[in-house]
Chains A and B, each alone.
Chain A
Amino acid sequence: MPLDRASLLSGALSAPSPHPVAPFAITAEPGRVLGLMGPPGSGLTRLALALLAEPSKTGMVAVVDVRGWLCPVAAWEVGIVPDRLVVVRCPDRSAWLRVTAALIEGFPAVYAEVPAGVCDADLRRLGALSRARRSALVLRPVAGDLPGGVLHLRVEADAVVWHGADRGHGALLQRRLTLRVSGKGVQGIPRTIELVDEGTRALPAISGSAVHAVG
C-alpha cells in the first residue's frame, strides 16, 4: 500500500536517528577566517581564546585588543601557556589594519577585535593575507557586522546561560552557549549548535561528542 506523502514526511521527522546531523566542531584552521558576532557578555572572547589554545601548543599566538579589556587569566584558564601569548593593544583604527596584517604574517593564529569603521575592502585584504600566509584568523567586531565574503565560518551568539550562581549562593560554574553558525565552513547550511564550557579547560565541547547540532 503506497504511503501518502504527509505520513512519510512526518515519520521521517519524528523517527529518532543515531546521528541526526554529523557532530560539528568549531576550530581555527590555518588559512581560514572565522567571524564571531555578539555583544560583550555573549561569551565569545573566551570561545576565541579557546580556539587559540590548540595552535598555541606549537607556536606563539597573538591577540589584537582594541579596547584594552582583555584579561589573560581567561586565556591561561583555557590552556594557553603565558609565554606563548602576545597581546597587542591597538585602539587606533588607522594603525589597526597594519598591525593585524603584520601579525597575520608572523603568527600561526591571530584573534583580532575589529574596531568600528574598518571598511569591507580592508577586511577582505586581511582575509586574502591569512589565506596566503596559512594563518588562522578569528575576527570579532566590537560593533556592527562583518562582510559576508571574507568569512569561512560565521558564528553568531544566540544565547548564553550560566549555571552555578543562584540567589546569592554558589558561584559561576558552567555556561551553555547557543551559537548560530553559517558560511562555507558548514557547506552553506546554517545550523544552531550548543557548547558547554566549564571555563577551566580548553572548551571540551568544541571538538567532542558534547557538541550536538540542534537545527
Chain B
Amino acid sequence: MARILCIWFPDWPLRRPDTPADRPAQVVDASGTVIAVTGDAHVLGARVGMHRREAEALAPAALTLVSDPGAEAVAFEPVALAIEDLVPRMEMVSPGLVYLPTAGAVRYYGSEDTLVGKVVAAVEAMAPGGRFGLADGPFAARMAAERAVAGPVIVADTAAFLAGLDIAAVGVAELVDTFRWLGIGTLGDLAGLPREAVASRFGPIGLEAHRIASGEDRVVHPRRIGEEVVVEERFDPPLDDVERAAFAARALAGRLLEAVAPTGAMPHRVEVEAEAATGVIRARTWRSSHPFSEVELAERVRWQLRAWVESGGVPGGVVRLRLVPADLSDRGRQLRLGEDAASESDARRALSRAQGLVGPDAVLQAIPQGGRDPGERVQWHRWGEEPEAAALDPKAPWPGRLPEPSPALVPPDPRPFEIEWDGGFPTRVRLGSRWEPVLGWAGPWRQTGRWWEGEAAADRYQVVTSAGAFLCEVREGRCWLVGVYD
C-alpha cells in the first residue's frame, strides 16, 4: 500500500469573505447537509453531517451559508500550487482536501519527516490551519489528518492505528449501528473477523468496510483499457470566461464517460490538463472514493477551470482542454430496468445540441417544490446540472393552495385579464376581441401575501367559459390571468 500524505482543511468552506467573525456560522452543501461549522456553532451543538434543519434548530443564532465549491477552488489554488512545487503528483478530492503520494518525494527529500516538514511549512505560509496525516492509503491518511490537531501525524504502523479507531469511521450509519449491536466497537474488531463471514452477512458494503478496516484501501481493480482513452477539445477563441468553461467542462466530461462506458469501467481519478494561449500547460488530478458520475466530473473540471481562469493561471485563456482518466474500476453505473444506455446517450446528445442552439438557460428540467400557485410549485434548473434541494417543502401543508388539476399553461408574468362583475360574481370575461359569458366559477382562494412588507392580498378564481377554464387573480382591484386549464 502506497504511503499517502493527506492535507485537510476542515474549515475550508468557512474561509470566505462573507463568514461573520462575531457570530456562529455553518456551511451547507447543495443537498442541505452541514459540511463545516465554526467553533461557536459547534459549542451550540451543530455538527458536520447534520441536516440543515437540525443544525439550525440547535443553533438558531448561527448564520447558514450555502457552499460555493467553485469559489472555494479559486481560493485554494495558491495552496495547491505551493504543494505542487514540492510534490508534483497531487490529487485533489475537493477544495481543502488533497492527497499526495509520497514514495518519490520521500526518496528525493530523504525522509518522511523532512518531506512533511517542508509541506507543512509551504502550506502554512499560504493558509494556516491545515491538518496533515501520513499513513498507508488515503483512508488511513485522512483518519490521521483528522486526528492531527496539534501537529502532523505520521503513522508508522497503519494496521495498529486503524485497529484503535472507532467503528463510526466506516461512515455508513446503518452498518455502524449493526456492528455496535454485535459488539464490534473498533475497526480492529471488524478487521479481526473472517472476511468471508462479513461478506456473506453484509454483502458488498460490508466487504468494503472490512477492507477499509484491514487497511486495504481504494478498492479499485486496476483495469487496462485497450487504447488510451483521452478526450480533448480545442477552443478558438480561447476560453476565458467561467460560463463558457462550465459548458465546455460538461461536454467534455460527458464525452469522457461515454468513451470509457463501453468497457464498463469508470474512472476514480481524472487528470485535467489545460493549455493556455501563451503555451503554458497546467495539469491537476482530481480523485474520488467512488467512481465519478458525469455531473460530479463536470463539476470538478469546472471548479478547476474557474480556479485557473480567475487566478490567472492560464494567461490568455484556455486553448486546449484534455481529460485523462486513471484508476478505472469496473463499478460502472448499472442502468435501471427499462433504461437503455443507447437511448440515454441519444437523449443527452440531442439536448447538448439543443443547448447549443438556444443556450443552456432554455433547456430545463424541473422538480416540485412547495407553494400555493402552480407557478410557485415548480423549481426549474438547467438540464445537466444537479438541482438544488427544494427550498420550500412540497410535502408540507400549504393552506390556500389551489386544488388539482393544475393549469397546464402558466404565463411567466401575470397578464391583464378583463372580467365583468355583477354583485361580486364574475359574469363575462374578455378573450381576445370577444366577450364570453361565465358558465361557472369557483373561489376565491385567498393569499394574504406578505402584508408586513406591504404586499396586497390576492384572490384566485377559477372561471369556466365555453372556451375553456382560466385561473385568474384579483389583486388591488385589478384582474390578472395566471393560468389556463389547457
User: Which residue of B353, B364, B425 is within 8 Å of A102 (Cβ)?
Assistant: B353
Interface positions of B from 2 to 22, Cβ below 8 Å from A: none
Instruction: Give 1 or 0 for each of A125-161: 1 = CB within 8 Å of chain B CB.
Output: 0000000000000000000000000000000000110
- Report 28 cross-chain contacts, Cβ distance below 8 Å, ordered by A residue: A39-B467, A39-B468, A40-B409, A41-B469, A43-B486, A45-B486, A59-B343, A62-B347, A69-B411, A71-B409, A73-B378, A74-B407, A82-B368, A87-B363, A89-B362, A90-B358, A90-B362, A92-B358, A102-B357, A103-B350, A106-B347, A160-B468, A166-B442, A167-B441, A172-B403, A172-B464, A172-B485, A199-B404
Q: Hey, which chain B residues are within 8 Å of A59, CB to CB?
A: 339-340, 343-344, 347
Bound state CA distance, A87 and B382, in angstroms?
10
User: Which residue of A71, A90, A105 is within 8 Å of B406 (Cβ)?
Assistant: A71
User: Which residue of A45, A74, A106 is within 8 Å of B346 (Cβ)?
Assistant: A106
Given contacts A162-B440, A162-B464, contact A70 B409 (CB under 8 A): yes
User: Which residue of B365, B378, B469, B484 is within 8 Å of A162 (Cβ)?
Assistant: B469
Residue of chain B at shortest CB distance from A92? B358
Q: Hey, which chain B residues are within 8 Å of A44, CB to CB?
A: 486
Given contacts A42-B486, A46-B405, A172-B485, contact A71 B374 (CB under 8 A): yes
Bound state CA distance, A172 and B483, in angstroms?
13
Residue of chain A at shortest CB distance from B471? A172
Flag if B408 contacts A102 (CB, 8 Å).
Answer: no
Tell me which of B363, B375, B443, B483 has the highest count of chain A C-beta atoms within 10 A of its own C-beta. B363
Bound state CA distance, A75 and B470, in angstroms?
18
Does B226 count as interface, using CB distance less than 8 angstroms?
Answer: no
Interface positions of B from 346 to 367, Cβ below 8 Å from A: 346-351, 353-354, 357-358, 362-367
Instruction: Give 1 or 0 for each of A39-76: 1 = CB within 8 Å of chain B CB.
Output: 11111111001000000011110100001111111111
Bound state CA distance, A103 and B351, in angstroms?
7
Given contacts A89-B362, A102-B357, A162-B440, contact A76 B368 (CB under 8 A): yes
Q: Hey, which chain A residues are within 8 Å of B466, CB to CB?
A: 159
Does B462 count as interface, using CB distance less than 8 angstroms?
Answer: yes
Flag if B364 contacts A89 (CB, 8 Å).
Answer: yes
**Category for how many chain B residues contact A:** 35 or more
Q: Hey, which chain B residues are within 8 Å of A41, CB to CB?
A: 431, 465, 467-470, 484-486
Residue of chain A at shortest CB distance from B439? A162
Q: Hey, which chain A residues are within 8 Å of B406, CB to CB?
A: 71, 73-74, 77, 199
User: Which residue of B350, B383, B405 is within 8 Å of A105 (Cβ)?
Assistant: B350
Residue of chain B at shortest CB distance from A197? B405
User: Which residue of A106, A160, A166 is within 8 Å of B350 (Cβ)?
Assistant: A106
Residue of chain B at shortest CB distance from A85? B365
Flag if A106 contacts B407 (CB, 8 Å).
Answer: no
Q: Hey, which chain B residues are within 8 Å of A58, CB to CB?
A: 338-339
Bound state CA distance, A103 and B470, in angstroms?
31
A-B contact count (CB 8 A): 188
Instruction: Give 1 or 0 for each of B383-417: 1 = CB within 8 Å of chain A CB.
Output: 10000000000000000000111111111100000
Flag if A102 contacts B485 (CB, 8 Å).
Answer: no
Flag if A45 contacts B441 (CB, 8 Å).
Answer: no
Does A184 count as interface, using CB distance less than 8 angstroms?
Answer: no
Bound state CA distance, A164 and B411, in angstroms?
24
Does A205 count as interface, using CB distance less than 8 angstroms?
Answer: no
Q: Hey, which chain A residues are within 8 Å of B363, CB to CB?
A: 86-89
Give, as a whole number of angstroms, the nearest-CB distance from B222 to chain A. Answer: 34
Bound state CA distance, A45 and B407, in angstroms?
9
Instruction: Give 17 A-B pairs besides A59-B340, A59-B347 with Cβ atoms closer than 8 angstroms.
Output: A40-B468, A43-B468, A62-B347, A62-B351, A69-B412, A70-B409, A77-B404, A82-B366, A88-B362, A102-B357, A162-B469, A165-B440, A165-B462, A166-B440, A171-B403, A199-B405, A199-B406
Does B446 count as interface, using CB distance less than 8 angstroms?
Answer: no
Does A13 count as interface, using CB distance less than 8 angstroms?
Answer: no
Q: Interface size on A (CB < 8 Å)?
A: 60
User: Which residue of A71, A106, A165 is within 8 Å of B469 (Cβ)?
Assistant: A165
Q: Hey, which chain A residues are within 8 Å of B357, CB to CB?
A: 90, 95, 98-99, 102
Q: Hey, which chain A residues are within 8 Å of B365, CB to CB?
A: 82-83, 85-87
Q: Hey, which chain A residues are within 8 Å of B465, CB to CB?
A: 41
Give, as a whole number of angstroms, the nearest-CB distance from A67 to chain B. Answer: 8
Q: Hey, which chain A residues are within 8 Å of B255, CB to CB?
A: none
Give, as a whole number of angstroms, the nearest-CB distance from A77 to chain B. Answer: 6
Flag if A46 contacts B408 (CB, 8 Å).
Answer: yes
Q: Hey, which chain B residues are within 8 Å of A39, CB to CB?
A: 467-468
Bound state CA distance, A71 and B350, in angstroms?
22
Flag if B486 contacts A46 (CB, 8 Å).
Answer: yes
Give, as a whole number of angstroms, the nearest-CB distance from B278 to chain A. Answer: 36
Q: Hey, which chain B residues are within 8 Å of A71, CB to CB?
A: 374-375, 378, 406-410, 483
Does A108 count as interface, using CB distance less than 8 angstroms?
Answer: yes
Does B377 count as interface, using CB distance less than 8 angstroms?
Answer: yes
Flag if A72 contacts B378 (CB, 8 Å).
Answer: yes
Tell me which of B350, B383, B411, B431 has the highest count of chain A C-beta atoms within 10 A of its own C-beta. B350
Q: Hey, which chain A residues are within 8 Å of B340, CB to CB?
A: 59
Give, as a whole number of angstroms, the nearest-CB distance from B99 to chain A. Answer: 33
Top-9 shortest CB links A-B: A106-B350, A41-B468, A199-B405, A165-B442, A74-B408, A45-B408, A71-B410, A102-B353, A45-B486
Q: Hey, which chain A residues are within 8 Å of B431, CB to CB?
A: 41
Give, as a whole number of angstroms, the nearest-CB distance from A44 to chain B. Answer: 6
Bound state CA distance, A76 and B406, in angstroms?
10
Flag if A86 contacts B351 (CB, 8 Å).
Answer: yes
Instruction: Give 1 or 0 for each of A187-201: 1 = CB within 8 Å of chain B CB.
Output: 000000000011110
Does A168 count as interface, using CB distance less than 8 angstroms?
Answer: yes
Give, as a whole number of angstroms, the nearest-CB distance from A101 to chain B. Answer: 9
Q: Hey, which chain A residues are within 8 Å of B485, CB to CB?
A: 41, 43, 46, 162, 172, 175
Give, as a whole number of angstroms, the nearest-CB distance from A106 to chain B. Answer: 2
Interface positions of B from 451 to 486, Cβ below 8 Å from A: 462, 464-470, 483-486
Flag if B368 contacts A87 (CB, 8 Å).
Answer: no
Give, as a whole number of angstroms, the nearest-CB distance from B170 to chain A. Answer: 31
Q: Hey, which chain A residues are within 8 Å of B443, CB to CB?
A: 168
